[in-house]
Amino acid sequence: MKILIAEDLPSLREHAQKLVERLFAERGQKIDSIVCAGNGLEAVRLATTEKFDLILMDIAMPELNGIKAASEIWAANPGTKILFWSQYQHEAYIRELGKIVPDEAIHGYVLKTENDEKVIEAITSIVFFDLPYIAPAVEAVKARLKDRSSAVTDLEYETLLDIAAGLTDKAISKKEHISYRGAQNRLSMLLSKLLKGEDGYLKETAGIEIYNPRARLIFEALKRGLVTQEDLNSHGQGVDDWLFSEIGYEVEDKV
């Protein structure tokens, strides 16, 4: 058995290694090696040059996050078993993960907030029984993604990021090559799915508009993990590139 642990925090790498060693000792199984990676790029390099029986993969890592690293690993070796071990059950992560898991890959998702026994249960399920393991909190997010009344489509998600970048409806229609009414329809669907009519109810009850709907959309999206800082950074760069291609306006890097 060869195990790869991809985690950027040394203390958590050490803890994960001890859990793996404990599990295999209890089952009387031999571990040939446990290899560690401190970031996503290193994990990809190791996993595409060696064959591992399990990869324990953190998601929020420097250089390359765990989802993108897994995508590259599965592209090279679709049958690789990967257990995502994360602090977060962000909808953005689970949404992206649902797009990249190969049919032949046995994978899992366990939260760092769960106790050690749950982590051991997840590893046991994947390695020894060839069964996936998904934490209940993550299953709840997956169920929401399947609910048409609350699930955000890919096109609506793109528009949500445009709104987060501060674009007006007219700018969104131009950038996304849709009509002005089409941009407004996407905004209306986002308001319906994320706010559930809350803004209209409050306005009617209080007699004044309580929330700015666009700002509230971003608040709700961040609260439920629908967008991450990484998404915002990447999309913001895309908006800057679009502005430059359209009107020659170059956004200064103030960082």
pTM of the predicted model over 0.85:
no
For 15-26, the pLDDT digits (tens) are 999 999 999 999
**What does each C-alpha distance from 74 to 77, 80, 82, 103, 104 come to in angstroms?**
5, 6, 9, 10, 10
Dump pLDDT digits (tens) for 43-75. 999 999 999 999 999 999 988 999 999 999 999
Query: What integer pLDDT is reported at residue 254 of this predicted model?
Result: 47
